Amino acid sequence: MLLQTAVAAASQHPLSGTIAEWVWLLPVLPLAGFVINGLLSLNSAHFGPTDPNTPAHHPHSEGAAEAAALSHGEEAGAVGDDHHAVKRHRWATLTSIVGPGVLIVAFLLALAIWQVMVSAHPETPFIQRYFSWMPVGDLQIDAAFQLDQLSMVMILVITGVGALIHIFSVGYMREDPGYPRFFSYLNLFVFFMLVLVLGSNYPVLFVGWEGVGLCSYLLIGFWFNDKANADAGKKAFIVNRIGDFGLLVAMFMLFANIGVLDFVGVSAKAVELGAGSAVVTAICLFMFLGCTGKSAQIPLYIWLPDAMAGPTPVSALIHAATMVTAGVYLIARSAALFSLSPVASLTVAVVGALTAIFAATIGLKQWDIKKVLAYSTISQLGYMFIGVGVGAYVSGMFHLVTHAFFKALLFLGSGSVIHAMHAAYHSTHSHEDAQDMRNMGGLKRYLPVTCVLMWIATLAISGIPPFSGFFSKDEILGAVFARAHGSTLASATWLGIPGSTLLYVVYGIGLAAALLTAIYMTRMMLYTFHGPVRTGTEEEKYLHEVPWVMTGPLVVLAILTIFGGWLNLPEVVTDILPVGPGEVLTRWLDPVVGPATARITAGASHVPVATEEMLIGLAVLIAVAGILFAFVRLKPSRVPRKADAIPEHGFEGVVANKYYVDEALDRTVVTPVYASSRNFLWRIIDNGLIDGFFVNGSAALARGFGWVGSRLQTGNVGTYAWVLVVGVLVMLAALTLR
Amino acid sequence: MLAESLALTAALFIIGVVGVLIHRNAIIIFMCVELMLTAVNLTFVAFSRFYGTAGQVFVVFVMTVSAAEAAVGLAIIIAIFRHRQTINLKDINLLKG
């Protein structure tokens, strides 16, 4: 019923009749790109990464084992000195046009729709119904898209940053034998991501949710000939299934309790669940379980560092800018539910805070440049969850957007570094690790543009004003602080702890994580770009800046990183400085998350301007302190080469080994599951019960009956005659002697 | 009158059935089957006397079919005898499970 009224409202919607009706084209464009590139990849002599005739020029990931390097060397040997002659896929040119092309067109369309939205600024979502998907009794699910301010933000990020990363990939994946396959997966990912953010109900969102998981799996294991990469893909897929189970349960509970699954209906009927009731808390917690899987939060974060096995543009697009932020989007989308449950909201904030500090400490001790960024992503996602957890949905989304800018920049920058390193090692047939920072150092001489651009992103992520990360991170911390004074969260209790105390703790953890962020990011920059070159004297000659097709997207991202903060300048800044309007994003998202935010902040007193300024000053001070600390304490000149490195001991060793979480999970979960599967499910249930009893048992039963039947057929006609006569007599008796 | 007729035919039929059951010789069993058919024919005739002539029509049908059956049956028995030198049904039991 609610849906129909919503549809009726849509017919007079300010966006109807405008270009917004073409919203279906947004996902269809990358889908078309997927089909075209997919067909191109099938129609080729080279399918898969190790065609014996093609030297695999791709940079090996961290997990690339000796075996791969060995085969690599053989290939290089086979082609001799001819390895500078670039062998490209036969359809590479067409793919280079189609792959990024569909994204650019989609981005332009998104811009056009955004323009219309800016002028119309609709108060209600614009819902486009295409067909009835699951009409089952009371359950009415439409295949429908919903366009509102929240999905618009996500669409712009996905298509915009996505287009830049696609362009970068043209250079990065240039010589890969699976070039069209890579772009087809990447296009497919964008399709599913757009379905995720455009879906007007949870099931459609779930389709996108699963779809991006599939593409993540495909792209992590893109170089699947290396078992480590394939395993990383499987790990991501399996860990995400645990989270998806939570999301499914949340959907079932929503339907069981309020009977609707579309976002408009849920927002309207959420209150019927009762504020703070056990049901709404359970729904939110199950939903958050889904988010911890997709967005790599404790306890399901373990897949993301391994996901770095994929090509670096994949890490930038999927595992930093878009897919992993789907959880943040989901909570912002379900703000009406989360704002009703202070316990669930506080859980989100606490888990986010713990993840932020936990991942940041691991990031301090990683040597693989992509692993540092992976843990940094987990940490920053934690920040976003702090934001949406304390009901600062706008701040969470703001950090999502700025993080998409600067983390995509950092990942693509690391991609440039790896590309250059790999080319250098490839030229000398060296099998050194192209991603290990101990093999880098002093690269600013060879990659000056990348160095400057990555420094911009580093300052942004560390929280140095006026870069974007400063504003978004500060807004989250400010929101935590403000919520600690009288809000529905502050008055609630969480596991017996008063919400107010908890929020102060979260704030403190957030500050500590900010300090660590500044340290590990500066450490990464110092070890990569400064100090002496550890790449090797022979290789140094081959180090060079990457082509413009790769630096170009970096420059655009750097501009966005610098000015991204203008999306939502705090009023405390715009009041003093004439830098433009403040709180743009807050006002933009107000129709979507405004009511939910108001419910959380009910009764909150406004933080005095002086306090706010003090908090900003503290945040900046901490960021600067972190960077200075790294500069003073870390000496790039004393870093050993990877080959000469000695393993670290004590607590540092524990951190360097990621707190042995993977090992612990292996012992406590994976091994028992394997053992019980093998000894119980396989040997007893499958072999014993199913194969032994049911399959072979039914066969034996049929054989037994067959044996009895065959004994009856004696071949003696006399016997048959006796049986016939006796049968007739019995039937006669039965019919007459009743 | 009908009761006596039916008693006679029933007796004849049972003699035929018992003959089929207890004899081993294919020719004798064959003759017993003919006896059963004759008993049935007699029943038809008896009934036709009381309920119209339709029964007599059936008798003609049955006799026609039994003549054909006798021709086929005897041919089979002769073929079996040529092949096995016996028409004892105890020895003819190849078709079994």
The domain containing residue A451 runs over which residues? Answer: 341-638
Residues A625 and A679 in one domain: no
How far is it, in rounded angstroms, from Cα A651 to Cα A219? 34
Residues A457 and A542 in one domain: yes
Contacts of A711 in chain B (CB under 8 A): 97
Contacts of A715 in chain B (CB under 8 A): 93-96
Contacts of B88 in chain A (CB under 8 A): none
Contacts of B89 in chain A (CB under 8 A): 716-718
Do A715 and B21 count as a contact with CB atoms less than 8 A apart? no
Rounded to the nearest 10 degrees, how much is the dihedral formed by the CA atoms of A673, A677, A681, A684? -120
Cβ neighbours of A114 (radius 10 Å): 15
Q: Is residue A138 part of a domain?
A: no
Residues A694 and A574 in one domain: no
CA distances from A356 to A186, A361, A733 (A): 28, 9, 88
Q: Please write the tens of the pLDDT for every residue from A649-662.
A: 788 888 888 888 88
Compare all CA atoms of chain B with the CA of A706 and give the residue at the minimum distance: B97
Minimum-distance CB partner of B95 among A712, A715, A725: A715
Task: Return the beta strands (E) in A255-336 as ranges.
Answer: none
Residues A673 and A581 in one domain: no
Do A725 and B24 count as a contact with CB atoms less than 8 A apart? no
Residues A535 and A665 in one domain: no
**ipTM for the predicted complex:** 0.89
Residues A540 and A669 in one domain: no
Q: Is residue A588 part of a domain?
A: yes
How far is it, in rounded angstroms, from Cα A332 to Cα A325? 11
- Helix, strand, coil share of chain A (percent; to 5): 75, 5, 25
A466: preceding bond cis by omega (within 30 degrees): yes
How far is it, in rounded angstroms, from Cα A458 to Cα A599? 36
Q: Is residue A596 part of a domain?
A: yes
pLDDT at B18 over 60: yes
- Give the pLDDT score at A52: 43
For chain B, first and last CA: distance in Å? 49
- A721/B contact by beta carbon, under 8 A: yes
For residue A136, the surrounding DSSP H or E stretch is strand A126-136
- A712/B contact by beta carbon, under 8 A: yes
How far is it, in rounded angstroms, from Cα A419 to Cα A58? 8
Minimum-distance CB partner of A713 among B20, B89, B97: B97
Q: Is A558 left (phi over 0), alpha (psi -120 to 50) or beta?
A: alpha
Which parts of chain A register pLDDT below 70? 1-11, 44-87, 604
For residue A356, the surrounding DSSP H or E stretch is helix A342-363
* A541: Cβ contacts below 8 Å, ≥ 6 apart: A424
pLDDT at B95 over 70: yes
How far is it, in rounded angstroms, from Cα A579 to Cα A85? 52
Between CA A335 and CA A346, with CA A340 as vertex, the angle to 5 degrees is: 80
- Give the pLDDT score at A45: 55
| DSSP-based three-state secondary structure for A368 | strand
CB A569 within 8 A of CB A580: yes
How far is it, in rounded angstroms, from Cα A349 to Cα A384? 9
Residues 57-76 of B with CB under 8 A from A: none
- Give the pLDDT score at A351: 95
- A714/B contact by beta carbon, under 8 A: yes
Compare all CA atoms of chain B with the CA of A712 and give the residue at the minimum distance: B97
- Contacts of residues A610-616 at CB distance under 8 Å and 24 or more positions apart, as own/partner, are A611/A481, A612/A478, A612/A570, A612/A572, A613/A572, A615/A474, A615/A477, A615/A478, A615/A481, A616/A474, A616/A478, A616/A570, A616/A572
What's the longest Cα–Cα distance across chain A?
A: 116
- Give the pLDDT score at A612: 87
- A711/B contact by beta carbon, under 8 A: yes
Residues A419 and A547 in one domain: yes
- B92/A contact by beta carbon, under 8 A: yes
Q: Is residue A508 part of a domain?
A: yes
Residues A524 and A432 in one domain: yes
A433 token code pair: 């690790």
CB A125 within 8 A of CB A113: no
Q: Is residue A169 part of a domain?
A: no
* A112: Cβ contacts below 8 Å, ≥ 6 apart: A19
Phi, psi of A136 (to 5 degrees): -125, 95
| DSSP-based three-state secondary structure for A133 | strand
Q: Is A132 left (phi over 0), alpha (psi -120 to 50) or beta?
A: beta
Token pair 């101990």 is at which residue?
A438
Phi, psi of A129 (to 5 degrees): -90, 135
How far is it, in rounded angstroms, from Cα A463 to Cα B38? 115
- A710/B contact by beta carbon, under 8 A: yes
Residues A471 and A592 in one domain: yes
Do A725 and B89 count as a contact with CB atoms less than 8 A apart? no
Q: Are strands A126-136 and A139-147 parallel, antiparallel or unpaired?
A: antiparallel
- Could you tell me which residues are beta bridge partners of residue A199? A145
Cβ neighbours of B19 (radius 10 Å): 17
Residues A572 and A671 in one domain: no
Kindly tell me the sign of the dihedral angle through the C-alpha atoms of A298, A302, A305, A309.
negative
- Encoded amino acid at B30, one letter: F
For residue A120, the surrounding DSSP H or E stretch is helix A92-120
Kindly tell me the sign of the dihedral angle through the C-alpha atoms of A663, A666, A668, A671.
negative
A681 token code pair: 């499910």
Compare all CA atoms of chain A with the CA of B92 and give the residue at the minimum distance: A716
A87 token code pair: 């062998």
CA A59 centroid distance within chain: 22
CA A229 centroid distance within chain: 17
Question: pTM of the prediction?
Answer: 0.80
Minimum-distance CB partner of A710 among B17, B21, B97: B97
Among the candidates A611, A638, A665, a domain finishes at A638
Closest CA–CA distance from residue B89 to any residue of chain A (Å): 7
CA distances from A119 to A114, A115, A156, A588, B76 (A): 9, 7, 17, 12, 101
The secondary structure of residue A544, as a DSSP letter, is: -
Environment class of residue A81 by beta-carbon count within 10 Å: exposed (0-12), middle (13-18) or buried (19+)?
Answer: exposed
- Give the pLDDT score at A451: 94
- B89/A contact by beta carbon, under 8 A: yes
Contacts of A722 in chain B (CB under 8 A): 21
| DSSP-based three-state secondary structure for A125 | coil
Comparing CA positions, the residue from A6, A333, A2 lying closest to residue A149 is A333
The number of folded domains in chain A is 2
Token pair 């034998």 is at which residue?
A177
- B93/A contact by beta carbon, under 8 A: yes
Q: Is residue A555 part of a domain?
A: yes
Compare all CA atoms of chain A with the CA of B25 and give the residue at the minimum distance: A718
CA A643 centroid distance within chain: 33
Do A718 and B96 count as a contact with CB atoms less than 8 A apart? no
Environment class of residue A600 by beta-carbon count within 10 Å: exposed (0-12), middle (13-18) or buried (19+)?
Answer: buried
Give me the domains of chain B, ranges plus CATH numbers. 2-91 (1.10.287.3510)
- Give the pLDDT score at A1: 44
Q: Is residue A562 part of a domain?
A: yes
Residues 7-46 of B with CB under 8 A from A: 17, 20-21, 24
Kindly tell me the sign of the dihedral angle through the C-alpha atoms of A19, A123, A475, A389.
negative
Closest CA–CA distance from residue A708 to any residue of chain B (Å): 10
CA atoms within 13 A on the CB side of A635: 3
Comparing CA positions, the residue from A231, A222, A186, A217 lying closest to residue A49 is A222
Residues A495 and A575 in one domain: yes
Q: Is residue A373 part of a domain?
A: yes
A253 token code pair: 């509970």
- Give the pLDDT score at A487: 84
Compare all CA atoms of chain B with the CA of A711 and give the residue at the minimum distance: B97
Contacts of A718 in chain B (CB under 8 A): 21, 24, 89-90
CA atoms within 13 A on the CB side of B50: 9
Residues A574 and A665 in one domain: no
Contacts of B21 in chain A (CB under 8 A): 718, 721-722, 725
Pick the residue of A705, A707, A712, A717 with the most B CBs within 10 A to test the interface with B by mutation.
Answer: A717
- B80/A contact by beta carbon, under 8 A: no
